[in-house]
Structure 1
């Protein structure tokens, strides 16, 4: 029963990632000036287009995993997404701290949405998978 619950939680997490990557891909591809206005990174249409294309590849992978219902593929994408969320979130945090202003909304959103929601939630899922795999019962740990 716990395994089915973990897959369900992982699917919700990947749906969140699907929405987040889709949104990021759209604004990176079609509205790159948002990056200039709301980050300290400025505008770089070529790099932003490349980031959008990476997001599209992740989106396709997530859709394939969700449609196939392949447990191992879902776990791998959760691992990939967690690593990506932590690294991107930390990058936003560093950029914001180096030149703090509330004008840089993309960095603030990156810290909360990417690092705290995507990173923390995904880490929780991976921790639960680890506990489940090792056969450890958290209820008995006091």
Structure 2
């Protein structure tokens, strides 16, 4: 796996682990700083979901397989665009700066996943062509 993808995975692992801890153990704090309001149960559910996704990300990094890496990347791209768009819609409706940041970071990550995928695909193609 290329270094750029590894860097993105490490960045996402750290961010999601931190967010999961905050959402599970401090849901009121997280909710009060979101554009969606406080819902402790919903915040905990997001934290648990993030942990489930982290297991997939860790697995694909421990046991590298191009097929499964593409599946995880596709899910991360789709999720990043969807969550980013949800933040963007909320920002446009309520002008919440937290949602503007959420939209930007999710679109940036989705772009990073796409670039990483293309870099990995290109390097795999080059290796196959040289054989």
Could you say which TM-score interval applies, normalised by the shorter chain?
0.7 to 0.9
Taking structure 1 as the reference length, the TM-score comes to: 0.74
Query: Structure 2-normalised TM-score?
Result: 0.79
Paired residue for 2:113?
Answer: 122
8 Å Cα contact 1:32-1:45 kept in structure 2: yes
Name stretches of at least 5 consecutive residues in structure 2 with no aligned partner: 127-131
Residues 1-50 of structure 1, C-alpha deviation per residue, up to 9 Å, x if partnerless? xxx5xx33222222222122212212211121233322231111111111
The answer as to whether partners of 1:82 and 1:123 remain within 8 angstroms in 2 is yes
From the superposition, tell whether residues 89 and 34 of structure 1 become closer, same or farther in structure 2 (CA, over 3 Å): farther
Displacement after TM superposition at 1:128 (Å): 4.1
Determine the C-alpha separation between the residues in 1 that align with 2:14 and 2:78: 17
Shift of 1:124: 1.9
Task: Report the CA distance shift for 1:61/1:27 in structure 2 as closer, same or farther (over 3 A).
Answer: same
1:66-119 Cα shifts (integer Å, max 9, x gaps): 1112232222212211111111111111111101144xx2x2331222222x11
Please, what is the CA RMSD of the aligned residues? 2.3
Query: Any gaps of 5 or more consecutive residues in structure 1?
Result: 136-142
Q: Which among 61, 66, 70 is matched to residue 66 of structure 1?
A: 61
1:14 lines up with 2:9 in the alignment: yes
> Are positions 1:95 and 2:90 aligned together?
yes
Change (3 A) 1:94 1:35: farther
Equivalent residue for 2:51, pick from 43, 46, 56: 56
SS in structure 2 at match of 1:39 = coil
